[in-house]
């Protein structure tokens, strides 16, 4: 007979892991904000900064690689929520919806850029981190491709190849944020938002962003 307590226990452990993940995300960003690389952070240092014991860390995470994979999923969940500000209403064809969404993506990326840089760096030599990173982006590309296909069916969007266009635009946003935000101040974020909004809009939509 299957255990009736296993599922609730699993759910509680997952909830606890998510709670610890939030503490460890904040701890990681504080320590990296002091100039430390993620690879320089020991489990002891991370646990201490998060206010948990080393033993508790290892109850929920196998190692720093698993922690970083979890942090990547947390941060990209926030970025995806920001993207949904446009995804969910793309059929309205309002440039303001896209601009607000891009602005939120830039803000979230800037907030978490240190952890995102660590994810990108470790994905170059940690196969598990690379798999999570690629999987996240494959999911985003598929979501955007679906939006493009629906827009094409409605006659609102141009007839470019949907998945290839989605991939190009998704990675354009990621690479632009990664290469630009770490070398610029937030003062330029409005112009960056405007530029990326125009690029995406002019690529996808049949109607000009200046049209009423």
Q: In the predicted model, what is the mean pLDDT of residues 138-167?
A: 97
Whether residue 125 contacts residue 42, with contact meaning beta carbons closer than 8 Å, is answered with no
pLDDT tens for each residue of 106-127: 999 999 999 999 999 999 999 9
**pLDDT of residue 135 exceeding 70:** yes
Mean pLDDT confidence for 118-146: 95
Closest Cα to residue 157, out of 148, 170, 165, 144?
148
Q: Is the pLDDT of residue 36 over 60?
A: yes
Average pLDDT over residues 143-164: 96
44 phi, psi to nearest 5 deg: -60, -45
* Helix ranges restricted to H, the chain: 6-33, 43-50, 54-60, 64-87, 95-111, 113-123, 127-153, 162-180, 189-204
pLDDT given for residue 196 in this prediction: 98
Q: Degrees (nearest 5) of the Cα angle 109, 112, 115?
A: 120
The residues facing 157 across adjacent strands are: 205
Look up residue 10 and give its two tokens. 């699993």
Map tokens 């409605």 to a residue: 154
Burial class (CB within 10 angstroms; exposed 0-12, middle 13-18, buried 19+) of 117: middle
- Is 50 exceeded by the pLDDT of residue 131? yes
Q: Residue holding tokens 């999923």?
A: 73
The encoded tokens of residue 143 equal 């979501």
Calculate what percentage of the chain has a pLDDT beyond 70: 95
Q: Is it the case that residue 74 has pLDDT exceeding 60?
A: yes
**What's the rounded Cα separation, in Å, for the pair 24 and 124?**
22
User: Tokens representing 25?
Assistant: 């995300």
39 φ, ψ (degrees, to nearest 5): -65, -20
All domains of the chain in start order, with CATH: 1-61 (1.10.10.60), 66-212 (1.10.357.10)
pLDDT, mean of residues 74-97? 96
Return the residue matching tokens 């503490």: 23
Average pLDDT of the chain to the nearest whole number = 92
Q: Which residues contact 186 (CB under 8 A, 6 or more apart)?
A: 110
> pTM of the full predicted structure?
0.88
pLDDT for 210: 66
């Amino acid at each position: 007979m299957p255990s009736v307590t296993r599922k609730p226990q699993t759910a509680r452990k997952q909830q606890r892991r998510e709670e610890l993940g939030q503490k460890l995300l904040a701890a990681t960003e504080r320590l990296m904000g002091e100039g430390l690389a993620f690879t320089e952070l020991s489990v002891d240092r991370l646990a201490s900064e998060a206010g948990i014991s080393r033993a508790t860390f290892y109850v929920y995470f196998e190692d720093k690689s698993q922690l970083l994979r979890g942090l990547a999923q947390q941060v990209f969940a926030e970025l995806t929520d920001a993207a949904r500000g446009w995804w969910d209403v793309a059929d309205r064809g309002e440039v303001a919806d896209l601009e607000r969404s891009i602005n939120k993506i830039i803000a979230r990326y800037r907030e978490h850029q240190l952890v995102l840089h660590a994810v990108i760096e470790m994905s170059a030599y940690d196969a598990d981190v690379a798999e999570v990173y690629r999987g996240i982006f494959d999911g985003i590309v598929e979501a955007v491709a679906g939006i493009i296909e629906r827009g094409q069916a409605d006659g609102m969007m141009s007839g470019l190849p949907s998945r290839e266009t989605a991939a190009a635009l998704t990675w354009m946003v990621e690479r632009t944020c990664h290469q630009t935000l770490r070398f610029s101040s937030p003062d330029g974020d409005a112009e960056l938002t405007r530029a990326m909004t125009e690029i995406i809009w002019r690529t996808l939509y049949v109607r000009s962003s200046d049209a009423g």
